[in-house]
Amino acid sequence: MEINSNIISPLVVGGLNSPLGARDLTHLLQLEGEERKTMLRKAAEVKASEVGNVVYLRGLIEFSNCCVKNCMYCGIRLDNKTVQRYTVSNEDILAAAKYAYDKNFGSIVLQSGEIESPAFTEKVEYLLQEIKALSNGELGVTLSCGEQSEDTYRRWFLAGGHRYLLRIETSNPELYSKIHPNDALHSFTKRVDCLKLLKKIGYQVGTGVMVGLPFQTFEDLANDLLFMKELDIDMCGMGPFIEHVDTPLYQLKDQLWPLQKRFEVTQNMVALLRIMMPDINIAATTALQAIDKLGREKVIRTGANILMPNITPGVYRNSYKLYDNKPCTDESADDCTSCIDVRVHLTDNEVGYGKWGDSKRFGKRG
Ligand code: SAH
Ligand code: SF4
């Protein structure tokens, strides 16, 4: 096939050694039609040759929706008084972890709102120790509990947490300040410092952004990709921004890209990141499925290699609504699990049952 664009040709001929700059990425993110298809195919090839057509599972336990922050996009922000707050009991969290272990998932993610307190630090530390004990140390555990002190991150690492997800949301500090309140609790610099701290402690570190935020440009997204490359991350989770009716950003809903465009640009982001960072782990996030029923599968085909089935106990799911139309909120864990195999096979990938599926990038860096 003939490709006319000078910029895409290095991708097509496989010249991965020539690093893509901000201008190239800005252009590539906007490709359409045949050129876009070529780029997505290239990402699929890179995935197959670098990490293989295997999808690793992370059973997601959204164990608390209590949060002290007020991110303007998020449905469980402190000021949303319509949310019924919950924290799952230790017993139920451990039962969900055991379920993941018995189902051979390999890993789980413990995710929550942001709570900084001695009791919370202890709770998570206890859970990590118990999860390691109930699985003979076999279940991998990723944490995603926001910004914490160095001491807390260290305690959790020692207790068995070995990966941490903390999205930067956007790498543009100006845009960051438009989608967060401007106070010390919502500091861009602090978030970047936390990411560096997590790396220093020894975690495999994941970050990511939302795609299609109000005021966000293609240049911003190109810089997000370069930010991740620069930080040399191990894992990434990116998803479309989906407005939530009970949040301040909902007022800007008429200025947003159509949902389909947010989906397609997210798919482009994942594909380009796979090409730029061939050996990292990239998640096919749940928010993709909120736009397109087969959204996660499409993105697995074109670069992603991680799936996070929701195993939060069913009664709580409806209360962890970060955005509207969140899928699988009224199903039990079993309903979700039974469809994983079918969904992954649809993409010509295999499920990496019983494996941690650590980021190869992390292994190489040692
Ligand atoms: N409190 C932790 C983890 C839970 S929030 C933290 O903030 O790091 C997990 C992610 O949900 C956030 O990082 C954000 O990227 C995403 N999110 C929140 N609101 C969203 C929305 N309206 N649309 C899409 N993603 C959203
Ligand atoms: Fe809290 Fe995370 Fe939502 Fe921000 S994005 S309000 S920190 S749960």
Q: Is residue 150 part of a domain?
A: yes
Is 87 a member of any domain? Answer: yes
Q: Which of 163-167, 196-200, 314-318 has the lowest mean pLDDT?
A: 314-318
Indicate whether residue 101 lines ligand 1 (CB < 6 A).
no
- pLDDT tens string 216-259: 999 999 999 999 999 999 999 999 999 999 999 999 999 999 99
Q: Is the pLDDT of residue 276 over 70?
A: yes
Between 90-102 and 118-134, two packed helices, what is the crossing angle to 10 degrees? 30
H or E stretch covering 92: helix 90-102
Domain-embedded: residue 240: yes
State whether the beta carbon of 241 lies less than 6 angstroms from ligand 1.
yes
The token duo for 145 is 């509990």
Q: Which is more confident, 15 or 106?
A: 106
pLDDT at residue number 315: 84
Residue pointed to by tokens 């020692």: 158
Q: What is the pLDDT of residue 366?
A: 63
* 11 pLDDT more than 60: no
Quote the ligand 2 centre to 6 CA distance (angstroms). 41
Which among 83, 50, 82, 54 has a CA at the least distance from the CA of 66? 83
* CATH number for the domain that contains residue 203: 3.20.20.70
| Tokens encoding 220 | 């911003």
With respect to residue 17, please indicate whether it lies within any of the assigned structural domains: no
Tokens 């230790």 sit on residue: 90
For ligand 1, is residue 239 a contact (CB within 6 Å)? yes
Question: Which position has the higher pLDDT, 102 or 314?
Answer: 102
323, burial (CB in 10 Å: exposed 0-12, middle 13-18, buried 19+)? buried
- Ligand 1 atom with the smallest distance to the CA of 67 is 1
Tell me the pLDDT of the chain averaged across its residues.
Answer: 93
β-bridge mates for residue 237, sequence order: 283
CA of 69 to the centre of ligand 2 (A): 6
Residue 127 lies in a domain: yes
Q: Residue 313's pLDDT is what?
A: 87
Res 14: pLDDT: 45
Q: Is the pLDDT of residue 92 over 80?
A: yes
- 3, pLDDT greater than 50: no
Compute the distance between CA of residue 90 and CA of residue 316 in angstroms, rounded to an integer. 14
Distance CA 18, CA 106 (A): 36
Parent domain of 322: 54-365
Specify if 71 maps to a domain: yes
Per-residue confidence (pLDDT) for residue 2, from 0 to 100: 37
- Domain count for the chain, please give it: 1
**71 CA from centroid of ligand 1 (Å):** 9
- Both tokens of 299, joined, read 């993105």
DSSP secondary-structure letter at 247?
Answer: S
pLDDT digits (tens, 9 = 90+) for 146-165: 999 999 999 999 999 999 99
Residue 283 forms part of a structural domain: yes
Whether the Cβ atoms of residue 262 and residue 256 lie closer than 8 Å to each other: yes
Q: Pocket residues for ligand 2 (CB within 6 Å)?
A: 67, 69, 71, 74, 76-77, 113-114, 146
* Highest-pLDDT range among 12-26, 42-56, 329-343: 42-56
For residue 73, tell me if it sits in a domain. yes
What is the mean predicted confidence (pLDDT) over 87-115? Answer: 96
Report the alpha-carbon distance of residue 111 to residue 348 in Å, rounded.
29
* Residue having the nearest C-alpha atom to atom 3 of ligand 2: 74
Kind and range of the H or E run holding 125: helix 118-134
